[in-house]
A and B are shown apart, each in its own frame.
Chain A
Amino acid sequence: EPEVTQTPSHQVTQMGQEVILRCVPISNHLYFYWYRQILGQKVEFLVSFYNNEISEKSEIFDDQFSVERPDGSNFTLKIRSTKLEDSAMYFCASSESGSTGELFFGEGSRLTVL
């Protein structure tokens, strides 16, 4: 069964460092998303991506964040200069259609900023 894969599963970084989280969405999907969950809090929407551009982003997704689909298979989230409060589980998701609400999620990448 096709699945969304994410790497790394866990990354520890120093405050101020750049981090890139990688995702391989399901191959025939067209819509891509990043969510995050700070420990004990809600799963929060960060950004959605369609047709090689951001279609929607939340207030969390400030200038420190960027997304890219560099090669037609990977979908990456970059945090330019990490802060302590960026420590969270980051989930990538993809969907075939943007209108059904059914997203397929990866296992998540846990980011710890020290």
Chain B
Amino acid sequence: GNSVTQMEGPVTLSEEAFLTINCTYTATGYPSLFWYVQYPGEGLQLLLKATKADDKGSNKGFEATYRKETTSFHLEKGSVQVSDSAVYFCALSEIDSGNTPLVFGKGTRLSVIA
């Protein structure tokens, strides 16, 4: 079946540090890939997505590139801010299959300190 593995947290960084959160996936078909973020006291919200190989999703300074050859979708940001402190979830969905539910990773908690 489909699954997502992301790096264990928590991750603690100083402001303006470079961030990488690794995510790899296993899928039977050709999935679309997502990063969701959960800020304290809020629900999960879509951060970015990519629907085919070599696509780069980007939003709020975050980027992730769909790498089919390595089955990866690592999240990166060049310079994190305190406001980026949140839990980040990598997810996949085989959209061509119709109403297919998202499959999530465990989540990685990021804490950015000033």
Contacts and interface: CB of A to CB of B under 8 A. Distances in A.
A50 B42 CA distance: 25
A104 B45 contact: yes
B99 A31 contact: yes
Interface stretch (B19-27, B73-81, B103-111): B103-111
Interface in B5-49: 32, 34, 36, 41-46, 49
Nearest to B6: A42
Nearest to A107: B43
Nearest to B46: A102
Contacts of A48: 99, 101
B43 A4 contact: yes
Given A4-B43, A105-B43, A108-B43, A43 B99 contact: no
A28 interface: no
Place the interface of chain A in its size category. 20 to 34
Contacts, number: 67
B44 A91 contact: yes
Interface of A: 3-4, 6, 31, 33, 35, 37, 40-45, 48, 50, 55-56, 58, 91, 93, 98-108
19 contacts: A35-B104, A42-B104, A42-B105, A42-B106, A42-B107, A48-B101, A56-B100, A58-B101, A99-B95, A99-B99, A100-B95, A101-B34, A101-B95, A102-B34, A103-B102, A104-B45, A105-B36, A107-B41, A107-B43
Interface of B: 4, 32, 34, 36, 41-46, 49, 89, 91, 93, 95, 98-107
